Amino acid sequence: MSDITASRTELASLAQELDAADELSGLRSRFVLDDAVYLDGNSLGALPASVPGRLTDVVHREWGELRIRSWDESGWWTAPERIGDRIAPLVGAAPGQIVVGDSTSVNVFKAVVAAVRMADEDSGSAADRRDEILVDATTFPTDGYMAESAARMTGRTLRPVTPAEVPAALSDRTAAVLLNHVDYRSGRLHDLPALTAAVHEAGAYAVWDLCHSAGALPVGLDEHGVDLAIGCTYKYLNGGPGSPAYLYVRRDLQPRFDSPLPGWTSHAAPFAMRPAYEAAAGAPRGRVGTPDILSMLALEAALDVWYGGGDGGSAGAGVTTGAVTIDAVRAKSLALTDFFLRCVAAYVPEGRVESITPLAHAERGSQIALRCDDAGDVMKRLIHRGVIGDFRHPDVLRFGFTPLYVTFADAERAARVLGETLGEAG
């Protein structure tokens, strides 16, 4: 037997052993999956098996039969806060601080403008006004677009800096800082506790984008004193395409949260239809317009997976019945990505790929990004062979590892197919 064959046999056998010992392995049956290796959950999570039945009930009974009564009788009106409280433990927040609704982009705008307005209150006078917003220079484009618009609206200067440059860039001019917890392109995990502390020491407000960390690793919003945070729910939270985003406002800041989008559902008395706006107390003041009920309740059903439900009525033996801890998810995420990198090193011809995701666990999210010549074409061929990742311009292959349903056998197969594909191309 050749060394290559021995290595493949060894790694395939090890993948089976790791899967057999995986305490989260039973969760895979709670998702609608096929024979493909799905490593694009960092863009769109797989469909939880419980969602179709829940939506059928919402459409046929709650909407079709109860109709408008469902705003009260089916809990539609309170869904944004109720579902926010279900997300809260997954990002380290106590209840009453998260409201679900709108898109990530809209919530970024709300959070940044509100942060600047709180900084204005702190300054007390125009002469002492903090006139600068720092934004992650490596951020997903929409965050930058929204931060730039927020800066124009509030009369601030927007200054892009990398997260590593933030401590040195902070000054008494800084009003707010918008950062990504995990870089969407490279998978680098930034130091939320240290950067939040540095922002606070400078007297500014920290706004964090959790799109690529919520549901994949511990965040600790309350523990680390984060001021405001936003995130999507269609990645590691598996809420579905276009599922609503969420907004976190730390409890002690909620009375000061001044939204630039004061919609009727965030009014203290929304059904009084008063011409003058008066903000609701607590998390509801982050709301804007009428909630998107169908996608919101699909998200609520998807979150059942985390709380011992969500088997769609077909869960088999071995399915975890208790709540899933984010610490267990993080441990598996790191094990999966370590194993994938080991398999890549064994299978991929030398010099064909380069990982741009940090090796250090403290600096790694739940994805592996590989720089590769002709990455776009390579990813197309991988997808044709049943390994679903994605491509980021100009030369990055991204593989997202969702621990709730990705297996070690998936990781081994993906690396093996990648090696075969690049070997053929070479």
Based on the residue annotation, tell me whether 271 is a catalytic residue of this protein.
Answer: no
Based on the residue annotation, tell me whether 390 is a catalytic residue of this protein.
Answer: no
Three-state DSSP at 176 gives strand
Q: Which of 205, 234, 248, 391 is catalytic?
A: 234
- The pair of structure tokens assigned to 418 is 């990648």
User: CB neighbours of 182 closer than 8 A, spacing ≥ 6?
Assistant: 188, 189, 190, 211, 212, 213, 216, 217, 365, 366, 367
For β-strands 390-392 and 396-400, DSSP reports them as antiparallel
Based on the residue annotation, tell me whether 398 is a catalytic residue of this protein.
Answer: yes
Q: Which residues pair with 10 in a beta bridge?
A: none
Tokens 């599922």 -> residue: 243
CA distance 415 to 342: 9
Based on the residue annotation, tell me whether 235 is a catalytic residue of this protein.
Answer: yes
CA distance 164 to 356: 16
Q: Which of 130, 185, 352, 398 is catalytic?
A: 398
Greatest CA separation found in the chain? 80
Direct distance between the N- and C-terminal alpha carbons of the chain, in angstroms, rounded to an integer = 24
Q: Which of 8, 188, 235, 332 is catalytic?
A: 235
Q: Which residues pair with 188 in a beta bridge?
A: 364
- The pair of structure tokens assigned to 246 is 């969420």
Residue 12: which of 422, 421, 417 has the closest Cα? 417
CA distances from 333 to 30, 339, 416 (A): 18, 10, 19
- Which DSSP state fits 58? I
Q: In 155-262, which residue ranges form alpha helices assigned H by DSSP?
A: 166-169, 192-201
Based on the residue annotation, tell me whether 191 is a catalytic residue of this protein.
Answer: no
Q: Are 238 and 404 in contact (CB under 8 A)?
A: yes
CA distance 242 to 295: 8
Q: Are 264 and 324 in contact (CB under 8 A)?
A: no
Q: Which of 209, 227, 390, 410 is catalytic?
A: 209
- The pair of structure tokens assigned to 308 is 């011992």
Residues assigned a catalytic role = 140, 209, 234-235, 398
